[in-house]
Amino acid sequence: MTALIVIPAVISVLALTSAFLFNRAVVRKAQGTDRMKKLQGYIRSGAFTFMLEEARVMAIAMVVIGILLWVLFYWEVAVAFWLGSLLSMSAGFIGMNTATHANARTTEGARKSFKEALAVAFTGGSVMGLSVAGLAVAGLVIVFLIFHHLFDPASLHIQTRYLFGIKSAGVNLIKGALVVSAYSMGASLVALFDRVGGGIYTKAADTAADLVGKVEMHIPEDDPRNPATIADNVGDNVGDVGGLGADLLESFIGAIISVIVMVLYLYVGRNNASLQGLIAKLGFSAGLDAATYWWLLLAPLVIVAGGTFASWLSILYVRVSGTAENVEGILMRGTRIAAILTAVTTFLFCWFSPLSLSIFYEVILGLIGGIAIGFFSEYYTSTTYKPTRQLSKSNQDGPGISVAEGLALGMLSTFLPVIVIAGATIGAYQFGGLLGVAFTAMGMLSFVAMTVSVDTYGPIADNAGGIATMSELPPEVRERTDKLDAIGNTTAAIGKGFAIGSAAFATLGLIASYMWSAIGSASQVVAPQLPIVGQIAASVSPTGSPIQVGAYVLAGLVVGAMVPYVFSALLIRGVSHTAGLLVEEIRRQFKESPKIMTGEQEADFNRCISITAHGGLHKMLLPAAIAVITPFVIGLIFGRYALGGFLVGGLLSAIQLAIFCGNSGGAMDNAKKFIEEGHFGGKGSEAHESSVVGDTVGDPLKDTVGPSLDILIKLMSVIALVFASLFPVYPIFM
């Protein structure tokens, strides 16, 4: 049944070819006036400069960690890690390349018609969407092909590995599981740099441009006289295109590999009595053998290939149907179509395979859960609904009250998504235990190609608007791009909610894999029967005192719940610090060259870009180090149980904090836009001034903290998964 691999292989080629052709289609479009070309050139080179500098920093981390993996484990692990990180970097570059091609061409399209603009922007977005899904699937196919011997059921067994031999009892390590985990870790690490570095960059530029431009100099947004205006547009690309793409690519891979890891452990432990119930639920009442094993192992790849194909069809649908009348409706319908088609392909696969329908139900839960969580984000942050309208109104009571109300809105908005996450967890468990949770996570992400396409279209439209203003094109052009942008804001809100929800589920899947591989070994039982939390602690320590393990789990939980707060604090400070440097630079330029304000002299855009880039890269180091080193240290010193608690604590805290930050910031931003549309006194009113303060507070929360938390929890979990076998079972001083 290894022939099943053909399906994901073919579909990844289809996705990547389409991405290439769509990119060609975008590049062939006219670029517009000289001024537009020049601006596009600035943005492109600024974005690439940042990406390349960031890649240099990443390359060092990649080499060090790869060598570490080679020394500690096997060369295959290092290769898989490098493959994952290179693919993730490529996805970022491809997306950025298209987005910075598409921005001015969207503006040029808007000079003709709304429909033309939409076509360019969405085509640009779909290049990113298809690349993310295509690269992730292709990479996994490559891993399977070059390391096929590691997945052969005949060769699957537990290997033992010690680190300094310290109290590290017999550890179970399945080489194939380690290789796919390392692949995922590579993607995670790149995503962390992209999200954190890009997040600090984009918000520092945005905040500084607004502070000096709008507040001090009273010039409008995207005014070409503002020296930080190009940096701001670069930020949209590095944060919202590169960062978001890497984030979802990582969730996608993490969700897939957590299923694969669990299947490997399930096969090795297939004769364990406690696993018979689960094996029967999967459709193999007669037991798991070499043939049925292949169906199960390749199921995640086939299902996500189906999702990618479904997304490809939906992208075509949107491209064909795009009209000025109901763009938002068509995008929403496209997403729904992708979800429904994914359900259909999954059903067909489960029906024609020996697998039971339980996997289909789990995927359905994921699809519905993902869409629901996305909708809740929209509900809380869009001015179509009551919460943000009320927040907008509260701006009349001054900035203090309105910021407090914005924070309250974000806190309140944790309720519905968490209920969905809890409900989906219970449902997935009923269908298939921890493996069911992993399949649900995968289901949520299976149509990621469509989600990323829709999400990437937003920043392209945003950039197009900026170029329109800076090129001093007629107002109807800006009106068209504004309309595109407004829809982009809605889809971005949905996308952010979806990213959090899917990250939470992907992390659950990763933690579940960690439990199976790390804690199972503690009692020398592969894939033990105990449920997730019980598993952490339900074992007796070598000194015979179970009480002590419990203490470490508890301490791990509390410390884990703290890390997202410290991480977030460092990001907020990174943004304000970098923005502070940029503010000084902008003020300096205006002061030293008064001709900038009169328009006689061009501002020094490059200096602003370079200051922001250095700030972003510098300030991402400490939070990145925390994400990478903390789980390693906890595992090494306090053992695997403590690390299990740490991961669960981190997940619990990060889910709430990410939803809170994302929705607070989104609502404060949109409350400001609502006032700018003329409500509560409109631009220049006291309410507007309050809302600008709210936006300054909310921006880093929404675009830096919230999205980076998604990565933090995934990265910490995948690091735990990769290094689990090296960590002692109990604290080294116990």
Give min distance, CB of 543 to its own copies, in A. Answer: 10
Using rule CB under 8 A, residue 625 touches its own copies: no
Closer to its own copies by Cβ: residue 351 or 415: 415
Nearest-10 Cα torsion for 589, 590, 594, 600: 80
For residue 584, give both structure tokens: 């000084």
CB 521 within 8 A of CB 725: yes
Give min distance, CB of 730 to its own copies, in A. Answer: 12
> Does residue 116 sit in helix, strand or coil?
helix
Give min distance, CB of 529 to its own copies, in A. Answer: 6
Give min distance, CB of 39 to its own copies, in A. Answer: 28
Site string for its own copies, 642-671 (x = CB under 8 A): ---x--xx--xx-xx---x-----------
CB 145 within 8 A of CB 349: no
What's the maximum distance between 2 C-alpha atoms anywhere in the chain? 82
Using rule CB under 8 A, residue 732 touches its own copies: no
Give min distance, CB of 450 to its own copies, in A. Answer: 27
Q: Which backbone phi and psi does 159 adopt, to 5 degrees?
A: -105, 155
> Does residue 276 sit in helix, strand or coil?
helix
Give min distance, CB of 665 to its own copies, in A. Answer: 10
Closer to its own copies by Cβ: residue 170 or 534: 534
Using rule CB under 8 A, residue 434 touches its own copies: yes
428, 609, 719, 722: residue in contact with its own copies (rule CB under 8 A): 428
Consecutive H or E run containing 451: helix 448-470
Closer to its own copies by Cβ: residue 153 or 423: 423
Considering only residues 13 to 52 of the shown chain, the ones binding its own copies according to CB under 8 A are: none
Closer to its own copies by Cβ: residue 189 or 579: 579
Q: Which of the ranges 61-69, 71-79, 126-134, 695-703 carries the binding residues for its own copies, by CB under 8 A?
A: 695-703
430, 593, 606, 610: residue in contact with its own copies (rule CB under 8 A): 430
Closer to its own copies by Cβ: residue 356 or 430: 430
Give min distance, CB of 222 to its own copies, in A. Answer: 20
Considering only residues 95 to 134 of the shown chain, the ones binding its own copies according to CB under 8 A are: none
Closer to its own copies by Cβ: residue 223 or 405: 405
Closer to its own copies by Cβ: residue 466 or 623: 623
198, 495, 623, 700: residue in contact with its own copies (rule CB under 8 A): 700
379, 505, 552, 727: residue in contact with its own copies (rule CB under 8 A): 552
Using rule CB under 8 A, residue 433 touches its own copies: yes
Q: Which of the ranges 7-15, 42-50, 131-139, 542-550 carries the binding residues for its own copies, by CB under 8 A?
A: 542-550
Give min distance, CB of 384 to its own copies, in A. Answer: 21
Using rule CB under 8 A, residue 271 touches its own copies: no
142, 354, 525, 550: residue in contact with its own copies (rule CB under 8 A): 550
Closer to its own copies by Cβ: residue 12 or 541: 541
CB 105 within 8 A of CB 29: yes
Give min distance, CB of 358 to its own copies, in A. Answer: 12
Give min distance, CB of 630 to its own copies, in A. Answer: 12
**Secondary structure of 507-553 in the HEC alphabet?**
HHHHHHHHHHHHHHHHHCCCCCCCCHHHHHHCCCCCCCCHHHHHHHH
DSSP letter for 228, please. Answer: T
The span from the CA of 348 to the CA of 132, in Å, is 24
Q: Which of the ranges 72-80, 121-129, 261-269, 541-549 carries the binding residues for its own copies, by CB under 8 A?
A: 541-549
The span from the CA of 335 to the CA of 318, in Å, is 9
Site string for its own copies, 194-233 (x = CB under 8 A): -------------x---x---x------------------
**Secondary structure of 554-599 in the HEC alphabet?**
HHHHHHHHHHHHHHHHHHHHHHHHHHHHHHHHHHHHHHHCCHHHHC
Give min distance, CB of 493 to its own copies, in A. Answer: 19
Give min distance, CB of 100 to its own copies, in A. Answer: 29
For residue 265, give both structure tokens: 């452990």
Tell me how far CA of residue 284 lies from CA of 134, 364, 707, in angstroms. 31, 21, 40
Using rule CB under 8 A, residue 534 touches its own copies: yes
Using rule CB under 8 A, residue 537 touches its own copies: yes
Closer to its own copies by Cβ: residue 456 or 691: 691
DSSP assignment of 3-18 equals GGGHHHHHHHHHHHHH
Give min distance, CB of 535 to its own copies, in A. Answer: 8
Site string for its own copies, 555-594 (x = CB under 8 A): xxxxx-xx--xx-xxx-xx-xx--xx--x-----------
Tell me how far CA of residue 1 lies from CA of 93, 137, 152, 346, in angstroms. 35, 18, 11, 17
Considering only residues 162 to 201 of the shown chain, the ones binding its own copies according to CB under 8 A are: none
DSSP assignment of 242-269 equals IIHHHHHHHHHHHHHHHHHHHHHHHHHT
Using rule CB under 8 A, residue 554 touches its own copies: yes
Give min distance, CB of 323 to its own copies, in A. Answer: 39
Q: How many helices (H) and strands (E) does the chain have?
A: 25, 0
Give min distance, CB of 17 to its own copies, in A. Answer: 41
DSSP assignment of 123-180 equals HHHHHHHHHHHHHHHHHHHHHHHHTHHHH-GGG---B---STTSS--S--B-HHHHHH
Residue 679: CB partners within 8 Å, gap ≥ 6? 392
Q: Which of the ranges 117-125, 139-147, 179-187, 424-432 carries the binding residues for its own copies, by CB under 8 A?
A: 424-432
In whole angstroms, how large is the CA radius of gyration of the chain?
Answer: 25
The span from the CA of 258 to the CA of 184, in Å, is 9
Give the number of residues in contact with its own copies, rule: CB under 8 A: 92
Using rule CB under 8 A, residue 247 touches its own copies: no
Give min distance, CB of 194 to its own copies, in A. Answer: 22
Residue with tokens 């109901």: 326
Query: How many other C-beta atoms can be found within 10 angstroms of the C-beta atom of residue 597?
Result: 16
Count of CA atoms in the C-beta half-sphere (13 A) of 40: 26
DSSP letter for 273, please. Answer: G
Using rule CB under 8 A, residue 529 touches its own copies: yes
Closer to its own copies by Cβ: residue 308 or 696: 696
> Does residue 601 sit in helix, strand or coil?
coil
| Residue type at position 723 | F
The span from the CA of 399 to the CA of 639, in Å, is 47
Considering only residues 359 to 418 of the shown chain, the ones binding its own copies according to CB under 8 A are: 394, 397-401, 403-405, 407-412, 414-415, 418
Please list the residues that pair with 159 across neighbouring strands: 173
Give min distance, CB of 631 to its own copies, in A. Answer: 15
Using rule CB under 8 A, residue 697 touches its own copies: yes
Considering only residues 272 to 311 of the shown chain, the ones binding its own copies according to CB under 8 A are: 277-278
